[in-house]
Structure 1
Amino acid sequence: MVFQPSTEPSVFHATLRDQFETFLDEHRCALHDSLNGLTEEQARRSLVTSKTTLLGLVKHATFVEKVWFDEGTTCRSRAEIGIPDSPDESFDLHDDDTVASVQHAYRQACAASRRATAELTLDDLLLGNRRGPLPLRWVYLHTLRELAQHCGHADILREQVLGGTTSRG
């Protein structure tokens, strides 16, 4: 995934929406790239008592994109979208989940999220969330907060898997 770093001078004075989208894409890219250079075993390695693995984090992030930007904008049910009913289930790995397939699904979900919000303003309401109507501004902030948290988890897990190095080759 490619993104414009949030530290680029052009971002400092960009519109609020452009800044949100830059930060979102920066974190999307970091989470996606946390799987780069890992073996399938390393990506699936369980290092904590929860279901959290590096591969599971990226799979969960795909779920997050679809909840907030597909369910949220289209009002389709999770069953119609083809995603689990609960966030916890979104970490479940199946035999056909590979680094390549999970990264591909995540790239597709992120691209779909961008398309779904392209014509919306930050004040437009997303009507499909279980909490009720939410402004896009709040959804962007919530998603950014969640992605930042998961990027931190991924950094720690990757360091553990690689034995102290975090290079994303």
Structure 2
Amino acid sequence: MQPDDERTLLGTFLDGYRVSFPRTLDGLDADEVRRRLVPSRTTLLGLLRHLTYVEAFWFQHAVTGAPLTALGVASTPDRSFVLRRGDTAQTLVAAHARVVEASRAGVAGRSLDDVVTGRGAPVSLRFVHLQVLKEYAHHSGHADILREQLLAAR
């Protein structure tokens, strides 16, 4: 496999976000990671919970057909931002890591041209990779801004 082939590049960029996003919580206390700084449900911890949902939805539900309830994630994207009482940075980082490993396993050996069901319509595994990559890129920007605001408020 060439280091610049499409599958390697998609995996490399996606893994970069998978590793860096949880680090936005580093050095923040339990209140800070839950603090709402905008009118929406967006918090740093909520963003991590949402990206865990995104991973499970696209790489497990869409690829393997596993029901969301069996995957232990929210039933809708909007609900995926809602924090539970026991959610902490440690529990959600661990849950995210588990889902990422399951995501990798779910697509191992599959072609980017394989067709799966995404939101009721057939899509390629390439589309799934790009969709998840887009979500990470989008929400990483939000996380950077929230973290900057939290640190400035100290």
Which bracket does the TM-score occupy, shorter chain normalised? over 0.9
Aligned length: 153
Residue 24 (str. 1) matches residue 9 (str. 2): no
Stretches (4+) displaced over 3 A: none
1:145 aligns with one of 122, 129, 134: 134
User: 2:67 matched to 1:77?
Assistant: yes
Change (3 A) 1:38 1:52: same
User: 2:40 aligned with 1:50, yes or no?
Assistant: yes
TM-superposed deviation, 1:79: 2.0
Partner of 2:5: 15
User: What amino acid sits opposite 2:102 in the alignment?
Assistant: A
Report the Cα offset of residue 74 of structure 1. 1.5
**Structure 1: distance between partners of 2:116 and 2:25:** 31
Which amino acid letter does the alignment assign opposite residue 77 of structure 2?
P
Aligned to 1:124: 114
The one-character-per-residue Cα deviations of 1:74-120 (angstroms, maximum 9, x if unpaired) are 21222222222110100111110000000000011111101111111
Instruction: Tell me the CA shift for residue 73 of structure 1.
Output: 1.6
In structure 2, runs of 5+ residues without a counterpart are none
One-letter identity of the residue aligned with 1:71: H
Deviates more, 1:73-82 or 1:96-105: 73-82
Matched to 2:104, the amino acid is: R
What displacement does 1:69 show? Answer: 0.7
Q: What SS does structure 1 have at the residue aligned with 2:121?
A: coil
The SS at the match of 2:19 is helix
TM-score (norm 1): 0.86
Q: Tell me whether 35-44 or 130-139 shows the greater mean CA deviation.
A: 130-139
Structure 1 gap ranges (5+): 1-10
**Aligned partner letter, 1:14:** D
1:13-64 deviation line (CA, Å, top 9, x unaligned): 5211000000001111121111111111010010000000000000110000
Question: Matched residues in 1 for 2:6 and 2:100: separation?
Answer: 19
Paired with 2:112 and 2:32, the residues of 1 have a C-alpha distance of 39
Say which SS state the counterpart of residue 126 (structure 1) adopts.
strand
Is 1:161 aligned with 2:150? Answer: yes
Taking the aligned partners of 1:143 and 1:130, their CA distance within structure 2 comes to 13
Percent identical across equivalent pairs? 41
